[in-house]
Amino acid sequence: MLNGFLSAFRTPDLRRKLLFTIGIIAIYRLGVSIPTPGVSYENVQLCLAQTSTNTGFEILNLFSGGALLQLSIFALGIMPYITASIMVQLLRVLIPRFETLYKEGAEGQAKLTQYTRYITLGFAAIQSASYITMARNGVFFPGCAYDIIPNDSWTMIAGMVLVMTAGTIFIMWLGERITERGVGNGMSLLIFTSIAASFPGAVSTIWNSTNGPTNTVLLALALLVVVAAIVFVEQSQRRIPVQYAKRMVGRKMLGGSSTYIPLKINMAGVIPVIFASSLLMIPQVIRQFQGDDPSGFMVWLENNVASPSAPLHIALYILLIVFFAYFYTAITFNPTEVADNMKKYGGFIPGIRPGTPTADFLDYVLSRITAAGAVYLAIVALIPTLLFVAMGVATNIPFGGTSLIILVGVGLDTVKRIQSQLEQRNYEGFLK
């Protein structure tokens, strides 16, 4: 693997792509540490030191690389763009115009990308105004007496909203530049960077919470086993064989080739885990707005639904992951569309008639693969949390199931992209 890295840096054009990607990531991390004008950076640090951050914003803060609770210019991170992208995919099911654009090829995809940018702008403006309001009302740091926004005039607030919205748009531009001129998917790499940047502090938290190196080593070994399982499952595929019939085009005989449709066990990725975690955090976020005298029902929701160690929380977590796994897979993979395309180009699955029988077969296989993928997601999402609870470690550190799936998935995808470029230049690559 080390030889693969050396070979990558010996290749001039690939070296330029890697250095360009590293440079963009460095700019992103620099922006994370720059506070938004109007925010008292010193008071924010004092509140972070005095107040528990278990307020329902851990996931969002993690995906922003710690920028959210510091109210930096990149406080929103890339999540408004991710939310807008998912929304556009959902709108393809609801709005025929979006589905038509999707089928138009590169020109239609460019229009959908433009719509995604507009929606990102709207989400960023709304979220930045909401987060600034929460920060002013003490939702981010309950019980902290320091004023993190000393000047709360409407002009200052409007300027802060503008700066944070512009920061999100700039992050989106950085991600697109990585995708276009760098290595890997830019948006995924920025999320990867945000999560990985929290590792030093997380290691210190684990070391202090486990009261000794023995428990820390055991926990590290357990997490390595989970990572190995994630790599194994993410690389697994159910390959559906496809045969193309021979046909005459003019004087040439075309077709007759065989290929396969690769169906991943986890086709939904980490989206079901993110959605499930976000929904279960809603009671805890609402609780922060109720002050020191919440209703009895909200206290019950906070203790039984939002608490990671509560049995009801675990049961709802599993059910939501399974639901969103099926839901998102149904949106991203259409068996009828795949069957029609195969029939159009003379392809068929051996033993299955083209058309509707092929679509039914693909739907049959996909539903069972998705069941296995949903169970896998639930197990991976719960095992780290249960380990942390059993050892008394805080659960808001970046070694949770969601973070591990993102890190491993993005890492594997980036390595594959680099390896494919190395193989084009007759190098062995990273994997043998």
- Where does residue 20 rank: exposed (0-12), middle (13-18), buried (19+ CB within 10 A)? middle
Given this model, what pLDDT does residue 209 score? 63
Given this model, what pLDDT does residue 24 score? 93
Given this model, what pLDDT does residue 42 score? 84
| C-alpha closest to that of 238 among 142, 329, 301, 321 | 329
Q: Where are the alpha helices (DSSP H) in 243-391?
A: 271-288, 296-304, 311-332, 335-344, 356-391
Given this model, what pLDDT does residue 65 score? 77
Give every residue of the chain whose pLDDT is below 70, as ranges: 1-5, 51-59, 201-203, 205-215, 246-256, 284-296, 298, 302, 306-309, 385, 388-400, 425-432
Given this model, what pLDDT does residue 304 score? 72
Given this model, what pLDDT does residue 215 score? 67
| C-alpha closest to that of 322 among 252, 275, 262, 385 | 275
Domains and their CATH numbers in the chain:
1-198 (1.10.3370.10), 200-397 (1.10.3370.10)
Residue with tokens 């945000």: 194
C-alpha distance from residue 391 to each of 69, 88, 293, 386, 419 (Å): 26, 41, 32, 9, 39
User: What strands, in cross-sheet order, belong to the sheet with 258-264?
Assistant: 258-264, 237-244, 347-348
Single pTM value for the model: 0.79
CA dist., res. 247 & res. 128, Å (int)? 58
Given this model, what pLDDT does residue 149 score? 85
Q: 384 Cβ partners below 8 Å, 6+ apart?
A: 223, 226, 399, 400, 401, 404
Given this model, what pLDDT does residue 174 score? 92
Ordered DSSP codes for 152-219: --HHHHHHHHHHHHHHHHHHHHHHHHHHHHSSS-HHHHHHHHHHHTTHHHHHHHHHHHTTSHHHHHHH
